[in-house]
Amino acid sequence: MSRIRVLVGTRKGAFILTSDGKREHWSISDPHFAGWEIYHLKGSPAEPDRLFASQTSGWFGQMIQRSEDGGKTWEPVGNQFNYDGVPGTHQWYDGTQHPWEFKRVWHLEPSPTDPDTVYAGAEDAALFKTTNGGRTWQELPGVRSAKGHLWQPGAGGMCLHTIVLDPRRPERVFIAISAAGVFRTDDAGLTWRPINRGLRSPYELPDPDAQVGHCVHRIAIHPSRPEVLFMQKHWDVMRSDDAGETWHEISGNLPSDFGFPIDVHANEPETIYVVPIKSDSEHFPPDGKLRVYRSRTGGNEWQALTNGLPQRDCYVNVLRDAMAVDSLDPCGVYFGTTGGQVYASADSGDTWNPIARDLPAVLSVEVQTFP
């Protein structure tokens, strides 16, 4: 019998939800790292019982935790994230240059093949890598060479929040940084370049077509077709068919094209999901109705998915790392809210059920499928 494990990071700890493949009955663990912010936790595809968690605190800083038993027990590993060489500076709010300062790890992306290799996306924006299971971390400084002096923190901090590893070309990695944009390496992280052509930010940037500065919220691919990228930008839902060289808008009939997460159906590469949010200041669903929108055409034509979701008086947000899919058939879709609910659909989004109702505000959701 197949099994599902959902890894939920919240403002006050991590929770692990488990079910069999029917996805009808769920168990919720006690909180792990209670009282700490868990920005993200994710399992190694190569060794699924090996999990990594980013545990942070405004008081006590950054910890990285590793589990070898699917989250039952944890062990702290390396927490030293030093910028390579002289850290240098980036643009500050007053137009001056400001030194890079490490604040926290937003996202952990384990290698699909090597259980000891994990990438970590940090604030202030930088990419780190471990090749020894988290014991030590090294920066890939080429990221910040990609016009880093022009980056400037947005309201949510200057964070490297998305890391997408190309499953067909291990030397190719995509990253996204708030208020900076998308960047790509084709040489395993040595050199990086911005890939933001086609993004337009007329209300955020003096030059709406600038090479860097676009506030990308999330990017996603389907593993069978890694040259096709989907993006939820600050405003606009975008698509690239050439590995990010050019982008075009696919917002179509969405009620709002502002939002945070975007994800791709596990078995249908042209089926994608977003959660429209009213605006950049009103971080809640339009009309108080929590609606996931699904496009089965790779964008432009969107259908509201409402069955089982609150359709009145709902004013929660869904953060960028808080949506994931399983790989069963039919595909399961999961997302968490700032109100502490985790919703799951076992039928590709047609119907939804809350599988947790009263957690702390959800920061991230990841799903592991055990076929």
Tell the burial category of 168 from Cβ atoms under 10 Å away from its Cβ (0-12, 13-18, 19+).
Answer: exposed
* String marking each residue 301-340 x if it binds other proteins according to CB under 8 A: ----------------------------------------
Could you say which residues in the range 122-141 bind other proteins, by CB under 8 A? none
**What is the Cα–Cα distance from 122 to 139, expressed in whole angstroms?**
10
CB 348 within 8 A of CB 330: yes
Query: Considering the complex, what minimum distance in angstroms separates the CB of residue 31 from other proteins?
Result: 12
Give yes or no for a cis peptide into 241 (omega within 30° of 0): no
Subset of residues 12 to 51 that bind other proteins, contact rule: CB under 8 A: 35-36
Residue 18: which of 87, 71, 62 has the closest Cα? 71
Among 25, 60, 93, 96, binds other proteins (CB under 8 A): 60
CA 73 to chain centroid, in Å, comes to 25
Q: Return the range that interacts with other proteins (CB under 8 A); candidates 20-28, 55-63, 155-163, 202-210.
A: 55-63
Stretch that binds other proteins, among 72-80, 255-263, 310-318, 326-334 (CB under 8 A): 72-80
CA distance 160 to 355: 29
Q: How far is the CB of 34 from other proteins (least distance, A)?
A: 9
Is residue 62 within the footprint of other proteins (CB under 8 A)? Answer: yes
CA distance 365 to 337: 10
Tokens coding 357? 């109702």
Spell out where 279-352 has E strands: 292-295, 303-305, 323-325, 333-336, 342-345
Answer for which of 30, 59, 155, 312 binds other proteins (CB under 8 A) is: 59
Report the distance separating Cα 233 and Cα 252, nearest Å: 14
- Residue in 58, 85, 95, 371 binding other proteins, rule: CB under 8 A: 58
**CB nearer other proteins, residue 15 or residue 36:** 36
Nearest distance in Å: CB 111, other proteins = 25
Contact pick of 61, 99, 208, 288 for other proteins (by CB under 8 A): 61
Among residues 79, 267, 327, 369, the one that binds other proteins under rule CB under 8 A: 79
Q: Which stretch binds other proteins (CB under 8 A): 75-83, 112-120, 203-211, 270-278?
A: 75-83
Q: How many residues bind other proteins (CB under 8 A)?
A: 13
CA separation for the pair 175, 83 (Å, rounded) = 17
CA-based nearest residue to 104, from 173, 36, 151, 175: 36
Evaluate whether 294 touches 351 at the Cβ level (below 8 Å): no
Least distance from other proteins to the Cβ atom of residue 37, Å: 12
Q: In whole angstroms, give the CA distance from residue 254 to residue 275.
A: 9
Least distance between other proteins and beta carbon 234 (Å)? 29
Q: Which residue has the tokens 């179509």?
A: 252
12 or 296: whose CB is closer to other proteins? Answer: 12
Stretch that binds other proteins, among 19-27, 77-85, 239-247, 297-305 (CB under 8 A): 77-85
Q: Which stretch binds other proteins (CB under 8 A): 43-51, 59-67, 246-254, 347-355?
A: 59-67
> What is the torsional sign of CA 297, 300, 303, 304?
positive
Minimum distance, C-beta of residue 153 to other proteins, in the bound complex (Å)? 18
Interface residue list for other proteins (CB under 8 A): 35-36, 57-63, 76, 79-80, 82
